[in-house]
């Protein structure tokens, strides 16, 4: 009998949200995504200690920034040996409001990948979807460096990313759900706000429909899931990046799955086209409390985990 995971693969490209090589072998995703939190988690595991130590020893006399770059490339290269598609490697979140520095960091990472024999077409540079990050992606895409715009929580962010020509965006389903549930407090009705009515699910569907109606080439990759129900409701999305525990649940399930997202036909109610300059983007993002708070929170957390990883590296340098 077909598993739910195999059924999902019929409609959607399955991506593993992990830096754990062993789990990639187990679930055989087409692509993989990483972020500072996932790399930190992997680097703290005994099985990856030799890789971390080797990177530090080989580049001991270089600065911490250079060693961090080498570590990201080492993980990315190992991951690419296990998957047929692309890997997403994240720019330091502390550069999220600096366009020039983000572009420079992305170019460094791509140069290191290419020096390791990896074609740039197999790498997506992950950048937070701030205004400055989106402008960096615009420059990078024009140079043939493809970007995964992360921490997307609003249609406005998604529209700005597509207008800039970003290759892919990652709307965070679970974190949107978390915010609405937390702010509703005791008034939250799980049954009413689950399935197709889940606020995170509805956000991704809105973005997907907008992109397909207006012919944007930017891919939509739902991310940050809290349950397999959220994943099943987005079957048909271009890509879905899924954590190992949820991949396991899908692999051991035989629940029937049908396609939920399809490109809008002419019979669908047309959406209004939205044009955003910097002022409109900043105002509309500011007017969306959920998106503003979760974007800021995500950047802070990734920055904290990058700093923790640097501390581990510095201890090994001592």
Which residues are designated catalytic?
Answer: 126
* Closest by Cα among 92, 313, 301, 294 to 176: 294
**Cα–chain-centroid distance for residue 51?**
24
Of the candidates 160, 158, 187, 185, the one whose C-alpha atom is nearest the C-alpha of residue 172 is 158
Helix (H) or strand (E) holding 55: helix 49-58
Sign (positive/negative) of CA torsion 177, 179, 180, 181? Answer: positive
Task: Report the greatest alpha carbon distance in the chain.
Answer: 65
Residue 47 · residue 20 · CB < 8 Å = no
> What are the Cα distances from residue 151, in Å, to 85, 126, 129?
22, 10, 6
For residue 254, count other CB atoms closer than 10 A to its CB.
11
């Amino acid at each position: 009998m077909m598993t739910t995971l195999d059924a999902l693969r019929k409609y959607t490209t399955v991506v593993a949200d992990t830096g754990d090589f062993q789990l990639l072998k187990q679930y055989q995703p087409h692509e993989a995504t990483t972020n500072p939190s996932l790399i930190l988690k992997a680097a703290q595991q005994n099985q990856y200690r030799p890789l971390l130590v080797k990177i530090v020893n080989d580049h001991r006399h270089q600065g911490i920034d250079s060693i961090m770059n080498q570590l990201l490339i080492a993980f990315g290269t190992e991951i690419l040996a296990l998957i047929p598609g692309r890997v997403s490697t994240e720019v330091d979140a502390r550069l999220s409001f600096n366009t020039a520095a983000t572009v420079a960091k992305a170019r460094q990472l791509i140069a290191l990948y290419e020096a390791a024999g990896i074609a740039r077409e197999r790498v997506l540079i992950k950048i937070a979807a701030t205004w400055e990050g989106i402008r960096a992606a615009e420059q990078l895409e024009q140079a043939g460096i493809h970007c995964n715009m992360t921490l997307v929580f609003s249609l406005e962010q998604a529209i700005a990313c597509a207008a800039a020509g970003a290759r892919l965006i990652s709307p965070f389903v679970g974190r949107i759900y978390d915010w609405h549930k937390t702010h509703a407090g005791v008034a939250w009705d799980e049954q009413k706000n689950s399935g197709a009515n889940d606020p995170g699910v509805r956000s991704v569907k809105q973005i997907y429909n907008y992109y397909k109606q207006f012919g944007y080439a930017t891919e939509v990759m739902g991310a940050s899931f809290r349950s397999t129900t959220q994943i099943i409701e987005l079957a048909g999305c271009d890509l879905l990046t899924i954590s190992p525990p949820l991949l396991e649940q899908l692999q051991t399930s035989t629940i029937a799955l049908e396609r939920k997202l399809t490109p809008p036909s002419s019979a669908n109610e047309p959406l209004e086209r939205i044009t955003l300059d910097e002022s409109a983007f900043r105002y509309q993002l500011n007017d969306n409390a959920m998106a503003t708070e979760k974007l800021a929170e995500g950047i802070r957390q990734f920055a904290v985990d990058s700093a923790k990883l640097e501390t581990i590296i510095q201890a090994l340098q001592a």
